[in-house]
Structure 1
Amino acid sequence: MERSLETQVSQAVDAWLAWLPRWEPATHRGRVAPCRRCFGSPVLSAAGLGADVPHGVQHGLSTRIKTIVDHGVAEYTALNLPMLQAELDHQAARNRARSYRPSEGLDPEFEGLPLDPDPVPGSPFLFTISGLADDAAASLPDLPPLSDEAKAALRQEVGLADDYANMIGREVCTVLLHHRLRIQAAITQYVEPQIEAMLEELTRSLDAPFDPNDPRTS
């Protein structure tokens, strides 16, 4: 039996709560560009994860919820939008033919994130993961061209799929409102203490920027 949307969201939150105790603050250099999946996300607003919550924590939940929406849209498309489904099937077959697919099979906490770190000015990369993936895709033949009539029909079906995705998204946000208390409780238990410890360590470093036992500072 197909699981209800309420059950799917509850299970996604359960999986995120089970992962959250393993979360640790990132120590690498932060990215300049915001995450397109999480920035301004109504899903995160419904879950009560504001801008003061670290992005890694947000991303793990938003990706799990996006999977639910994507699955619902995929079912709707398969049943009601034949042209769009055919295009998706062609694209899926093309993707499977690629010899290098680094963005597939990732854990939800990493899915949708850039494959490479931000470049450092004056220090170019010898190669990038995304560049290797693009090279693998470039060797595949293009998808068959569409007539103007087919393009117009396809645009209409894409619009219908977008409308359905927005409808599911609104329903998901409504369901998430019922999980806000346990989401916030987990943030208080597992995330806030680590953030407070980082701020305390930063304060100590600013108060005593030099090691008094280091002979170079005497």
Structure 2
Amino acid sequence: MERSLETRVSQAVDAWLKWLPRWEPATHRGRVAPCRRCFGSPVLSAAGLGADVPHGVQHGLSTRIKTIVDHAVAEYTARNLPMLQAELDQQAARNRARSYRPTEGLEPEFEGLPLDPEPAPGAPFLFTIAGLAEEADADVPALPPLSEDAKAALRQEVGLADDYANMIGREVCTILLHHRLRIQAAITRYVEPQIEAMLQELTQSLDVPFDPLDGSQD
């Protein structure tokens, strides 16, 4: 029997709660551009994860919920949108033909994130993972062109899929409202103490800008 949407969301939250104790604040330099998946996400708002929650914590939940929505839309597309399904099947076959697929098989906490860190000023990378992936993609033949009528029909089916995705998204947000208490409890238990420790360490470093054992300060 197919799992209900409520069950899928509950299991996604359970998986995120199981992962959360392993989360640690990032020590690398942050990126300038906001995450498209998380910035302004209604899913995170419904879950009660505001802007004060670290992005890594947000991303782990938003990715799991996005997987649920994507799965529901894929089922709807397979049943009702033959042209779009055929296009997706061709794209999937093209993706499988690539020799290098670094975005596949990632844990939910890393899906959708940039493949490479921001380069340090004046020190560009010799190569990047994204660049290697683009080279592999260029070796695969492009999909055959569509006629204008086919393009119009495909745009119509894409619109229907988008409408369905929005409907599922709203339902998911409603379901998430019932999980806010345990989500917030987990944030209080596992995330806030680490943030407070970082702030305390930062405060101490600002209060003592030099080595107290160094007698050279004026």
TM-score w.r.t. the length of structure 2 is: 0.98
Q: Which runs of 4+ in 1 moved over 3 A?
A: 214-218
Cα distance in 2 for partners of 1:201, 1:211 equals 15
C-alpha distance in 1, partners of 2:76/2:208?
60
Percent identity over the alignment is 87
Matched residues in 2 for 1:97 and 1:121: separation?
36
Matched, 1:153 2:153: yes
- The alignment status of 1:197 with 2:197, answered yes or no, reads yes
Secondary structure of 2:168's counterpart equals helix
Q: CA deviation at 1:31?
A: 0.6
Equivalent residue of 1:92, what SS? helix
SS of structure 2 residue aligned to 1:69: helix
Q: CA deviation at 1:51?
A: 0.1
Amino acid at match of 2:7: T
Runs (5+) with no aligned partner, structure 1? none
CA deviation profile, 1:60-117 (whole Å, cap 9, x unmatched): 0000000000000000000000000000000000000100000100000000000001
Spell out the pairing of 1:12-51 with structure 2 (5 A cutoff).
12-51=12-51
1:125 maps to a residue whose letter is F
After superposition, residues 166-181 of structure 1 pair within 5 angstroms as 166-181=166-181
Q: Secondary structure at the match of 1:149?
A: helix
Asked whether 1:68 is paired with 2:73, we answer no
The verdict on how the C-alpha distance between 1:51 and 1:217 changes in structure 2, with shifts beyond 3 A counting, is: same
Which residue matches 2:212? 212
What CA distance in whole angstroms lies between the structure 1 residues aligned with 2:216 and 2:102?
46
Provide the secondary structure at the position in 2 that maps to 1:25: coil
- Shift of residue 211 of structure 1? 1.6
Give the distance between the partners of 1:105 and 1:215, measured in 2 at CA: 55
Structure 1 residue 119: Cα displacement: 2.2
Please give the alpha-carbon distance, in whole angstroms, between the structure 1 residues aligned to 2:217 and 2:89.
66
Q: Distance in 2 between the 1:2 and 1:62 partners?
A: 22
Cα deviation per residue 1:172-218 (whole Å; 9 max; x = unaligned)? Answer: 00000000000000000000000000000000000001121246658
- Separation (CA, whole Å) in 2 of partners of 1:57 and 1:88: 31
Q: What's the counterpart of residue 4 of structure 2?
A: 4
State the one-letter code of the partner of 2:114. P
Equivalent-residue separation in structure 2 for 1:133 and 1:91 (angstroms): 16
Structure 1 segment 83-162 matched on structure 2, within 5 A: 83-162=83-162
Separation (CA, whole Å) in 2 of partners of 1:135 and 1:116: 15
Name whichever of 205-214 and 55-64 sits farther off.
Answer: 205-214
Q: TM-score, normalised by structure 1?
A: 0.98
Return the letter of the residue paired with 1:114.
P
Partner-residue secondary structure (3-state), 1:113: coil
Whole-angstrom distance in 2 between the partners of 1:124 and 1:156: 43
Q: Which amino acid is the alignment partner of residue 17 of structure 2?
A: L
Unaligned runs of 5+ in 2: none
Two-structure CA RMSD over aligned residues (Å) = 1.0
